[in-house]
Copies of this chain bind each other. A is one copy, B any other.
Amino acid sequence: MGSGAIKGYDFNRQFDAKEFFAAFSSTGLQATNLGKAIDLTKKMQKDGAKIFLGFTSNASTSGLRDIITYLVKNNLVHFLVTTTGGIEEDVIKTHGDFLHGSFEESGSYLRKNGVNRSGNIYVPNERYIWFEGFMKNLLLRLYKSGATIDSVDFVREMGRELEGKTRHKESFTYWAYKNNIPLLCVPLADGAIGDHLYFFKKNHPNFSIDLVREVELLYDIVLNAGKTGAIIIGGSVPKHHIMNALMLREGADYTVYINTGHEGEGSNAGANVEEAKSWGKAAHNDNNVKVWGEASIIFPILIAAGFKLK
């Protein structure tokens, strides 16, 4: 019972990045889970699987946003689901950087100084003022076009709106539009986007956005894909939305979760791969793994070892 020896990376030899990442597999505990995630990521690519990437907004707040842009720009992933913050922060960063701050700073002090905090990352209010202008232009353009709008189009139009703007090539929302990769924002009417929808509707009472087409798009792709892979950062809607859709084909062929959730609370966020199997979200074999850990460290390693150095 048990297979293969537990063994850490051998630092006595000259450092080799590929060997270093490969050594996670034999280290045990979450390192072994990360090693498995790297292997599954390689298999997704080898099989030409359609890769669904889900992520919560903190990925966008942090530097993972630049790594996601790399993946979308190079067509390495094929369907994205994030939350409102995930989109709006990506767009805002084309205007101005987010800054390093402290987890411990007083909220009232920051508020007085016009700074919003997400963990140890600071977002000056000025960024959101710019975004207000961005959204006003977009909403007017869409409204005047007279077309019926749905949430899928809406996000794509956000990408188009960026074209030609400063630093737009750093945005995955832009590249998703450019490369015609579906990018769902679920829910759409939350966060600053929700605020601007509210104010716009006050002056344009008949303004509406359909939410049904987003499932149509997602499910059609899920049902028509060959092999499928899911890479999910965090919990919340992106995790549930992608995995729920994959139930229609008795589960993703390959599933990689990266999150800090705990299964003991019975939330979908913390649900592990065994729970996913019971619903038919993940395949009934061993091609599934949850890496229990914080994504700002785990995800760059996954991309380095699973995509770049594969």
Chain A residues packing against B (C-beta within 8 Å): 1-12, 15, 17, 20, 23-24, 26-34, 56-58, 61-67, 70, 83-85, 97-101, 103-108, 110-111, 113, 115-122, 124, 148, 150-151, 186-191, 194-195, 197-198, 201-202, 207-216, 219, 234-237, 240-241, 244-245, 248, 260, 262-271, 273-280, 282, 284, 292-298, 300-301, 303-304, 307-309
Copies assembled: 4
Q: Nearest CB to that of A103 among chain B residues?
A: B263
Partner of A208, one of B66, B150, B244: B150
Are B240 and A66 in contact (CB-based, < 8 A)? no
Inter-chain contact A63/B27, CB cutoff 8 Å: yes
Residues of B within 8 A of A292 (CB): 262, 264-265, 294
Assess whether A278 is in contact with B65, with CB atoms less than 8 Å apart: no
Min C-beta distance of A253 to chain B, whole Å: 15
Choose among B32, B119, B191, B307 the residue that contacts A240 (Cβ–Cβ < 8 A). B191
A58 touches B267 (CB 8 A): yes
| Contact A266 B210, beta carbon cutoff 8 Å | no
> A105 to nearest B CB, angstroms?
8
Cross-interface CB contact of A119 among B57, B265, B309, cutoff 8 Å: B265
Q: When chains A and B are docked, how far (Å) is the Cα of A84 from the Cα of B23?
A: 26
